[in-house]
Chains A and B, each alone.
Chain A
Amino acid sequence: MRLESVSKSYQHRGRTVAALDNASLDIPAGDFVAIVGPSGSGKSTLLLVLGGMLSPSTGKVHLNGHSLYELSPNQRAEVRRQKVGFVFQTFNLVPYLTALENVQIPLYLAGVDGPAQKERATALLERVDLGDRLDHKPPELSIGQQQRVALARVLANDPEIILADEPTGNLDPETGQQILDLLEQMNREGRTVVMVTHDPRAAARAKRTLRLQEGRIISNGQLPTAIGGRA
């Protein structure tokens, strides 16, 4: 992934607010990047721009050599479906579906047939130790279990890139560590992980840390010496 002089500005009560200001960045395949910075520094905007969810005002975003925002919205949805997985701070599980059905959603969107959906979703939930909670709806699960369902959902389509927004923000330290373990594990499998966090201990688990301030990248951390991966 590569950002080329990306700026994003909003109009707020007649004033122009710069969420990202001329940000350039390379994220090699297999990287594990933590994005830190104060509230309103543009972390979330950066994550959305990387995920093809928010077109920049200027600049380009490349993914696998293709300019992401030169694609149509539906083509970008296709890219997300195949290559990107989002992890949300509040998990964003569909409340009226069971854990199994929540994990099946990306598979359904990818056109996988019913039995195959069920088989893969079950395997993923077993992987995050929720094999005995397949038919539980989100309100029937603990916070930590909900986040693990969300992680299983992220893995459903075997994405190359995982974009996580404060994945441990709502969790107790112990459960937070479990989630970070899983993210590390995903990174070891060759996936690129970009994680927004306020938690220095969580950021310390990443290979490098980006610091944002007023929309600008002020610290680019250390690139790993060895990069293995697919993106």
Chain B
Amino acid sequence: MHLRKLVWREMFERKNQLVTSFLAILLGIAVVVSIKNITFYSEKAVAAQLEALGANVLILPKSVSLQDYYSADMQNDEFPEEYVQRLAMSDLQGLDNLSPKLSLPVKLKERSFTLTGILPKSEFQAKAMWAGAGILSRPAEGCGTVADVPGAFRPTAKETLVRQRVVEDLGDTEALIGADVAVLLGLKEGDRLDVLGHTFTVTAVLPQTGTVDDSRIFAHLHTVQEMAGKGPVINAIKIVGCCKEISGGLVQKINRLLPEAKVVTVTQVVDTQVKTNGMMARLSLIFLGIIVLVGGASIANYMFANVYERRREIGTLMALGAGSTVILKMFLLKALLLGLAGGICGYLLGTVLAVLLGPRLAGIPVLPMPMLVLWALGISVVIALAASYFPARRAARLDPCATLQEV
């Protein structure tokens, strides 16, 4: 016989009453572990996205919100193509690869796609004054060389090849199609494609990227402008800017140059997302607080009831020579075991939930985080011990006479 055995036996003797408290702490810890796990991988994904995108600059019409742009990558408002020229002719340092684009929604075979007009590099080179401004004469290595075409293509060998073709040259009747477009419309290189009365020749099928670009049809900007019938307008200009220049106030300088447009950096976009994650984490903390209170209250309630129910047993132990320390330890050890069990099981359940639900809720792969087991155990044990301290102290201070009514 020892204290552990005494506590263990009692826990199993009254396990039905214990289940509620155990579930309260288990579910609380599980929710928090899964939120922390998903948040961690979500932040990691955002950080990776930021890393991959670099510090790009996006110029949008004033009325367009970032949410509009990123939710549909398309909006109704436009601004003049002349903005591109204004930027190109400016003496702003830190700009590389201006990429204007205009997107139109199109329906082909009852399916929705996006027709995006882009300007190939050859167009820029044809304009001597742009070249003279030095935009295209900058070295291709280093800052600003990542995204020189519309869309977020990944730099595999084939994509780079395709990308270079896009950048270098794109005829008025040539089109590049995303992987989904090719599959859904049954197209391959060399096929003809009729869009809004225009016939294009598919010059390349872009590899699968997992992005909105897979359902996009790329064509020459001026052709798309003509099809839209709105004149020389564009939806957005994407610029690869040098990080150093951006931090040095490039955005403000572009703002002064193009006061009618909205200038944001992708860093800001990601920051917004990070802030949203932060807000979610804070909300989760509030949620955690509520769960902790409910779990703690449940344990405290159970422990008080347990002390009351075991008055005679406590009195008997005191009559047999147990001091207040033994009684205190008896209840605190029970709380410790409850906390450990709740922490471990809560971690396991929370991890399973995170791994299963993470990809569905946040669209990211989530892996187990072993370090969270310590965190879960710490929180769980502290809650259980704190909630049980006063009941345990009450037990240790019980008047042994009152607990032995027949004596």
A88-B407 contact in complex given A54-B401, A101-B1, C-beta closer than 8 Å: yes
Closest residue of chain B to A107, judged by CB? Answer: B1
B321 close to A80 (CB less than 8 A): yes
Closest chain B residue to A103, Cβ basis: B1
Q: Which of B10, B319, B400 has the most CB of A within 10 A?
A: B319
Q: Which of B361-401 contact A (CB under 8 A)?
A: 400-401
Asked if A81 contacts B324 (CB within 8 A), the reply is: no
Residue of B at shortest CB range from A165? B407
Question: A104 to B13, alpha carbons, bound, how many Å?
Answer: 18
Chain A contact residue count (CB 8 A cutoff): 37
CB distance from B89 to the nearest CB of A (A): 89
> Does B1 contact A108, Cβ atoms closer than 8 Å?
yes
Chain A residues near B313 (CB-CB < 8 A): 92, 94
Q: What chain B residues lie within 8 Å of A109 (beta carbons)?
A: 317, 320-322, 326
Contact between A82 and B320, CB atoms less than 8 A apart? no
List A contacts of B318 (CB < 8 A). 53, 77, 80
Interface code A90-117, partner B: CB below 8 Å = 1, 0 otherwise? 1010111100010011111110001001
In the bound complex, residues from chain B placing their C-beta under 8 Å from that of A166 are 406
The docked-state distance in angstroms from the alpha carbon of A157 to that of B2 is 16
CA A9 to CA B176, docked complex, whole Å: 100
B312 at the interface (CB under 8 A from A): yes
- Docked-complex contact A88 and B404, CB < 8 angstroms: yes
Contact A96 B319 (CB under 8 A): no
Shortest CB-to-CB span from B307 to chain A, Å, is: 15
**Of A88, A90, A104, A157, which is within 8 A of B1 by CB?**
A104
B321 touches A110 (CB 8 A): yes
- The answer, yes or no, to whether B259 is at the interface (CB within 8 Å) is no
* A47-B407, A107-B1, A114-B2 known; A80-B319 Cβ under 8 A: yes
Contact surface of B with A, Cβ cutoff 8 Å: 1-3, 5-6, 9-10, 12-13, 312-313, 315-326, 400-401, 404, 406-407
Given contacts A105-B320, A109-B326, could you give 5 more A-B pairs where the C-beta distance is less than 8 Å? A44-B407, A81-B321, A96-B10, A97-B1, A117-B1
